[in-house]
Structure 1
Amino acid sequence: MSKLDGNERWKSKMLLTEHQEQYESRKEPRTSGQTTPEELKMIRDYVLLPHMLTMVQKHMEEMQNSSSLLKRLYLSATQVVMNQINRDMYELRRELSRRRIRVVGDEQVDLVVYHRYICRGYEDRLGIVREVMRAEISVRFAKYFGEINQWLGQYNRPAAEKEEAPVEGRR
């Protein structure tokens, strides 16, 4: 009989999520500190998503103060985009943490913004030109708005199909 047998605290089998992730990561093959192209894309997205969220929040504040007829529609669509960006940021943060990658700082030199990151003990920096950031943000927004458009299109189709049906008696 061991010392722990009589102790009731040791009977429960609680395991925190970070400990479970560490345990599961022990089975995975060891990777070097160098980042893969996929991880560089993840770091880029990690940098871009907060900028996108700020842009959407500013637009939402402007819309709240406007007297537009479609204000409620714009606000609800903006909220959907914000929720999706937050969800993507959460998943990205979790995946970067699982891969032991941290983005630690940024600095701007001329037109390039450099972001320092530590990947499994290897420190490097990722430089993104401001114009490329703008273009990438536009592409990401187009993706989010396309999803909303597709979702709204599902409700619009039955009405469009009714209009296209031929009316008898008319030429």
Structure 2
Amino acid sequence: MSKLDGNERWKSKMLLTEHVEQYEQQHASKESKIITTEERTMIRDYILLPHMEKMVQKSITDVEYSTNILKRLYFLAGQKILDQIVKDLYRLRRELKKRNIKILTEEQSDLIVYHRYYCRGYEERFGMTRDVMRSEISVQLTKYSSGLATLLKEYPKETK
């Protein structure tokens, strides 16, 4: 921030367009290196989706070996949710790559799981407690289940 920022007296003065462009480029380049809230959400989802994929896959495997009479229905519902998770993970990977964000290693310190990531040349850490991870996974799995329930409700009913 320069001494003239916020000084109303200088607003009416004429500036050369090249100076204005240069000033805007400097401020735009600084802002582009800072990670946005949307990108932090994307990183969080990128970390959580593989865990969700493993959980749903284990649940599908458990259903396959059960003797429940509705096991075919549970299997198909689980498979549909798993497909959606894999699709979202693929979309998220592409978007992070497009934004030049790389997520690296996982470290655990006390009760917090940290992931290092590089965002447009800057290295930072993203940390979540296990409890937060569990609750976020629960919320997201509920969204996937609700989406499946909505899809089933929209399915055309047969007439007798």
Superposition TM-score tier, normalisation by shorter sequence: 0.7 to 0.9
Give the match for residue 85 of structure 2: 85
Provide the secondary structure at the position in 1 that maps to 2:105: strand
Q: What one-letter code is carried by the residue in structure 2 that aligns with 1:122?
A: Y
Residue 148, structure 1, aligned to residue 154, structure 2: no
Q: What one-letter code is carried by the residue in structure 2 that aligns with 1:71?
A: K
Residue 122, structure 1, aligned to residue 116, structure 2: no
Partners of 2:113 and 2:151 lie apart in 1 by 35
Residue 98, structure 1, aligned to residue 98, structure 2: yes
Residue 45, structure 1, aligned to residue 34, structure 2: no
The 1:98/1:113 distance shift into structure 2, 3 A limit, reads same
Sequence identity percentage: 50
Partners of 1:143 and 1:156 lie apart in 2 by 22
Q: How many matched pairs?
A: 132
Cα deviation, 1:112-134, whole Å, max 9, x if unaligned, reads 10000001110000000111111
Give the match for residue 137 of structure 2: 137
Partners of 2:158 and 2:63 lie apart in 1 by 30
Cα deviation, 1:12-41, whole Å, max 9, x if unaligned, reads xxxxxxxxxxxxxxxxx7553221111010
Cα deviation, 1:109-167, whole Å, max 9, x if unaligned, reads 111100000011100000001111111001100100001111111248788xx9xxxxx
Give the match for residue 167 of structure 1: none
Question: What runs of 5+ residues in structure 2 fail to find an aligned partner?
Answer: 1-27
Cα RMSD of the aligned pairs, angstroms, is: 1.8
After TM superposition, the structure 1 = structure 2 runs for residues 25-64 of structure 1, keeping only pairs within 5 Å, are 32-64=32-64
TM-score, structure 2 as length reference: 0.77
Q: What one-letter code is carried by the residue in structure 2 that aligns with 1:111?
A: L
The 1:153/1:118 distance shift into structure 2, 3 A limit, reads same
Provide the secondary structure at the position in 1 that maps to 2:113: strand
Question: What runs of 5+ residues in structure 1 fail to find an aligned partner?
Answer: 1-28, 163-171
